[in-house]
Amino acid sequence: MLSVSLRHSFGDFALDLAFEAPPGLTVLFGRSGSGKTSVINAVAGLLTPDAGRISVAGRTLLDTEARLNLPRHRRRIGYVFQDARLFPHLSVRQNLLYGQTFAPRHARRESLDRIVALLGLGPLLDRRPGALSGGERARVALGRALLSAPDILLADEPLASLDDQRRAEIMPHFERLRDEAGIPILYVSHSVPEVARLATTVVVLRAGRVIATGPAAEVLGDPATAPGLGIRAAGAVLSARITQHHDDGLTELAAGGGRLFLPRITAAPGSRLRVRIAAQDVILALHRPEGLSALNILPVTVTGVRAGDGPGALIALDAGGEALLARVTRRSADAMGLAPGTSCYAVMKSVAIAPDDIGGPEPT
Amino acid sequence: MAEPWFGPAEWQAIALSLKVAAYATLFSLPPAVLVAHALARWRFPGRQLLNGLVHLPLVLPPVVTGYLLLLAFGRRGPVGGFLEDCCNLVFAFRWTGAALAAAVMAFPLMVRAIRLSIEAVDQRLEEAAGTLGASRPWVFATVTLPLMAPGIVAGAILAFAKAMGEFGATITFVSNIPGQTQTVPSAIYALLQVPGQETAAGRLVLVAIVLAMGALLLSEWLGQRVAARVAGR
């Protein structure tokens, strides 16, 4: 459990926020310049705020009122930097073991062998960081942080500098850590697919303040927070269960009180996973459409309508108990008479849902 | 019968020069790292003054530096007298004095090279080491120091070459005593004072050139090797 409250002035920019992160993976989400990295640096002890209190797992790291400010090397944090920051003069093995030598013996939960197996680092151990690819560097940085036996794992956009393929390679590791590591993870990101797939809790930052916080599905599915996320990023996260793989390359899932057909997902039938559905990929119809190429049609009920300043409107929907979000024009919303309580159908193209938006299997 | 290239006096000068330069380099290395680190990283009152002081021997006439050393480290000088009383350490007119003069003259070169290498060390790596549990001294020993190794090596070799060639301050401070304080440059100077010794002087001149050139090449080569190792290639 992480608890943070901070005030800090950077001249023309001020940070003034408080939040609590329950166990699991908490994403600090916001555009660049919203103060995300400053918050994570304050937790790590790389930035000393003007005022504030930070505690992790019952240990106070910073309390400006009590004049307590633990130096970074005594905070027991594992920090995965965006640029990896591996030591160039040490081998991968020495990099991995660097933090472990400073960790108290009783706190060491992970062994080198386990981390090497978990992250697939075996063939890299004797290489130098200069000879690694971006994805390999990110994995070594993650392993190094975990081996330092931290009370909390901090990650500052660890995937931002990677291409799509590498990102797809690293993301499952964070999913697994979220579900298995047993330590809280504070993860900075401005990528909606990352939030949708990884977050247990989302803290949305804007101009140094928290504008929304809560479970990922709630925050992302709430039309009120959508403008803060960026309208193109708006979308809901459904919890889905794989029911069947079809021969034509589609996977059938049960979600939102109906069936979804998505391009082949490599997970066994019965697995649970998250699917993010962007608001702009959802079409609404008052009657069940026929003769349509789109395969996914879910019966839904309108729970809220939020018209923006522009021509668009966000429609909050209830799909079999789960929140869904659709972005349509105000003109359509008016013409269809969409209002809370209206029953209609949400239509989604299978191919509109990007692989990035589909999470790995979660423990049941 | 062919005349031998060097007489015992010349060999003595060469050996003494190597010894003086080695001691000068070895003993000024730790303070040079400390001063370079302070100048590169710390902000303290008097930082500019320290910077000026370190660089003074580079611009001061060597004879002035030598005279000041004589005043301070002579047997009746404040520092020299104290060191003789407490540690039985005498600098005046001994090879130790030649080493001190060489060290003082080479110090600015060494500090400059090391300071540049500290400034090139990525402080974000030091931050990372801190978050992994390393205290400041450990960060310095395990990250900063290895990463600045190329600069230290280059600075040391440059200082060694400079110490080999030091003349003005040395001859002012410890004179030109064969076997005691007569280094290669002093020996060349002495030979040139006597008519007919040009050939002997020329041989020593050749030695000086070879040693200086060798040091420069070695410094370049070692610097590249260490840089490659540190960069993880």
Instruction: Give the ipTM.
Output: 0.79
Number of residue pairs across A and B with CB atoms under 8 Å? 75
Residue B26 to residue A54: CA distance in whole angstroms: 47
Report whether A350 contacts A275 (CB < 8 A): no
Nearest to A318 by CA among A238, A204, A230, A240: A238
Nearest to A84 by CA among A129, A49, A51: A129
A295-323: per-residue pLDDT in tens?
A: 889 999 998 888 777 788 888 888 888 88
The minimum CA-CA distance between B38 and chain A, rounded to whole Å, is 21
| pLDDT at position A106 over 80 | no
Residue A88 to residue A123: CA distance in whole angstroms: 18
Mean pLDDT to the nearest integer, A19-42:
89
Closest residue of chain A to B133, computed from CA coordinates = A73
Query: What residues of chain A, 90 to 149, have a C-beta less than 8 Å from chain B?
Result: 90, 98-99, 102-103, 128-131, 144-145, 148
Residue A328, beta-bridge partner list: A313
Query: What residues of chain B, 85 to 144, have a C-beta less than 8 Å from chain A?
Result: 124-125, 127-136, 138-139, 142-143
A166-199: per-residue pLDDT in tens?
A: 888 888 888 888 888 788 999 999 888 788 888 8
Mean pLDDT to the nearest integer, B52-78:
90
**Cβ contact (<8 Å) for B129 and A98?**
yes
Tokens of B17: 């020069």
**Cβ contact (<8 Å) for A103 and B133?**
yes
Question: What per-residue confidence (pLDDT) applies to B233?
Answer: 55
pLDDT band at A114 (very low <50, low <70, confident <90, very high): confident
Residue A205, beta-bridge partner list: A210
pLDDT band at A3 (very low <50, low <70, confident <90, very high): very high
Q: How many residues are present in chain A?
A: 364
Mean pLDDT to the nearest integer, A90-100:
92
Question: What per-residue confidence (pLDDT) applies to A227?
Answer: 67
Question: What per-residue confidence (pLDDT) applies to A363?
Answer: 66
pLDDT band at A165 (very low <50, low <70, confident <90, very high): confident
Which of B131, B142, B230 has its CB closest to that of A72?
B131
The minimum CA-CA distance between A110 and chain B, rounded to whole Å, is 15
In whole angstroms, how large is the CA radius of gyration of chain B? 20
Question: What per-residue confidence (pLDDT) applies to B1?
Answer: 44
The DSSP secondary-structure symbol of A234 reads -
Whose tokens are 């019952």? That residue is A58
| pLDDT at position B18 over 70 | yes
Number of Cβ within a 10 Å radius of residue B93: 18
Residue A297, beta-bridge partner list: A347
Question: What per-residue confidence (pLDDT) applies to A276?
Answer: 86
| pLDDT at position B107 over 90 | yes
The minimum CA-CA distance between A143 and chain B, rounded to whole Å, is 12
Report whether A198 contacts A278 (CB < 8 A): no
Mean pLDDT to the nearest integer, A124-139:
89
Question: What per-residue confidence (pLDDT) applies to A126?
Answer: 92
Q: Is A209 on the interface with B (CB under 8 A)?
A: no
**No. of helices (H) and no. of strands (E), chain B:** 12, 0
The DSSP secondary-structure symbol of B142 reads I
Nearest to A187 by CA among A29, A329, A310: A29
**Cβ contact (<8 Å) for A130 and B143?**
no
Residue B107 to residue A55: CA distance in whole angstroms: 48
Question: What per-residue confidence (pLDDT) applies to A360?
Answer: 76
Mean pLDDT to the nearest integer, A96-112:
83
Between β-strands A201-206 and A68-69, what pairing exists: parallel, antiparallel or unpaired? unpaired
Q: How far is CA B35 from CA A357, B24, B53, B154, in A?
A: 55, 16, 11, 16
Mean pLDDT to the nearest integer, A194-222:
85
Percentage of the residues of chain A whose pLDDT score is greater than 70: 97
Question: What per-residue confidence (pLDDT) applies to A228?
Answer: 66
Tokens of B154: 């280059």
A321 three-class SS: coil
Tell me the CB-side half-sphere exposure of residue A29, using CA atoms within 13 A. 31
Tell me the CB-side half-sphere exposure of residue A217, using CA atoms within 13 A. 15
* Average pLDDT along chain B: 87
A280-291: per-residue pLDDT in tens?
A: 889 999 998 888
Q: Is B233 on the interface with A (CB under 8 A)?
A: yes
Chain A neighbors of B138, CB-CB under 8 A: 73, 102
Mean pLDDT to the nearest integer, B142-148:
91
Closest residue of chain A to B139, computed from CA coordinates = A73
**Cβ contact (<8 Å) for A131 and B232?**
yes
Q: Is A151 on the interface with B (CB under 8 A)?
A: no
Residue A318 to residue A139: CA distance in whole angstroms: 39
For residues B36 and B89, the model is more confident at B36
Question: What per-residue confidence (pLDDT) applies to A166?
Answer: 81
Residue A351 to residue A276: CA distance in whole angstroms: 13
pLDDT band at B4 (very low <50, low <70, confident <90, very high): low
Mean pLDDT to the nearest integer, A20-39:
89
Mean pLDDT to the nearest integer, A339-351:
88
Q: By 3-state DSSP, what share of chain B in percent is helix, strand and coil, each rounded to 5? A: 80, 0, 20
| pLDDT at position A338 over 80 | yes
Most confident of A92-106, B23-37, B192-206: B23-37
Closest residue of chain B to A154, computed from CA coordinates = B131
B64 three-class SS: helix
Between β-strands A235-245 and A25-29, what pairing exists: parallel, antiparallel or unpaired? unpaired
Chain A neighbors of B136, CB-CB under 8 A: 73
Lowest-pLDDT range, A58-72, A329-343, B78-92? B78-92
Closest residue of chain B to A153, computed from CA coordinates = B131
